[in-house]
Amino acid sequence: MSLRLQARKLACERDDRWLFRDLDLDIHAGEIVRVEGPNGSGKTTLLKILSGQLADFQGELYWNDHPMRRTRQDFLANLLYLGHAPGVKAALTPLENLAWYQALAGEPDDEAARFKALAAVGLAGFEDLPAGQLSAGQQRRVALARLELIPRPLWVLDEPFTAIDRDGVAALEGRLAAHARRGGCVLVTTHHELADSPALRRIRLGQGGDDAAL
């Protein structure tokens, strides 16, 4: 299926400071795009803009060659966003957390799929424990289980490797690569160095100054 996220002349000014300017992006199916840059260079902001959360920026976004404003619903139906915070309710069990996400995404209510997704991220046996009793890394894995549960081609992941152990990192990296191979597309920020592959592309954001280079 066709998959194309474009940004033209993207610029974001936050309280009189340019985070980036004249940023042109072209993200296709089968790509892993890593957004790099020092702290405060606007990586999270860029991801929020590209995932349609922020509206106050200059420039245009296109989803499958249509302006984003008109295809927002279609875009959101294709998007899976994992934010800085895992979005996991401490008082709910992993299963209940995933059930809400399933309904929110318009997926059928399928308990077997939830069990499978949790097993895939190494949480078999923890399904019915309140998430608050899990470690930070395990909570992050609950969030990552959404990647297994909800089929969406465009992944926007903000620091997904945070708090994950080495095995988990390797598994997630494999998961990203597999997603790209199958024609999906991943946009990711991370301090973890990703293994080089033909699918991997890097975007560098400048030091929050005037020159945001591609």
| d(C-alpha 154, C-alpha 63), whole Å | 11
- Binding of residue 59 to another protein (CB under 8 A): no
- Binding of residue 208 to another protein (CB under 8 A): yes
| d(C-alpha 104, C-alpha 102), whole Å | 5
- The continuous run of DSSP H or E covering 212 comes out as none
Tell which positions 166-205 bind another protein, by CB under 8 A.
182-184, 191
- Binding of residue 53 to another protein (CB under 8 A): yes
Could you say which of 60, 70, 77, 111 contacts another protein (CB under 8 A)?
77
| d(C-alpha 7, C-alpha 46), whole Å | 11
Could you say which of 25, 34, 41, 144 contacts another protein (CB under 8 A)?
41
Give the residue carrying structure tokens 């902001």: 45
- Binding of residue 88 to another protein (CB under 8 A): yes
Whichever of 196 and 210 has its CB closer to another protein, that residue is 210
- Binding flags for another protein, 115-154, as an x/- string (CB under 8 A): ---------------------------------x--xxx-
Kindly state the tokens that stand for 195: 């293994």
End-to-end C-alpha distance for the chain, whole angstroms: 27
Could you say which of 10, 31, 34, 86 contacts another protein (CB under 8 A)?
86
Could you say which of 6, 22, 28, 52 contacts another protein (CB under 8 A)?
52
Give the residue carrying structure tokens 């998007």: 79
| Ramachandran region, residue 142 (left: φ > 0; alpha: ψ -120 to 50; beta: rest) | alpha
Give the residue carrying structure tokens 């940023």: 23
**In the sheet that 154-158 helps form, which strands lie side by side, from edge to edge?**
79-82, 154-158, 185-189, 32-36, 200-204
Residues of the shown chain interacting with another protein in the complex, contacts defined by CB under 8 A: 1, 14-17, 19, 39-45, 51-56, 73, 76-79, 81, 83-92, 96, 99-109, 148, 151-153, 159, 162, 182-184, 191, 208, 210
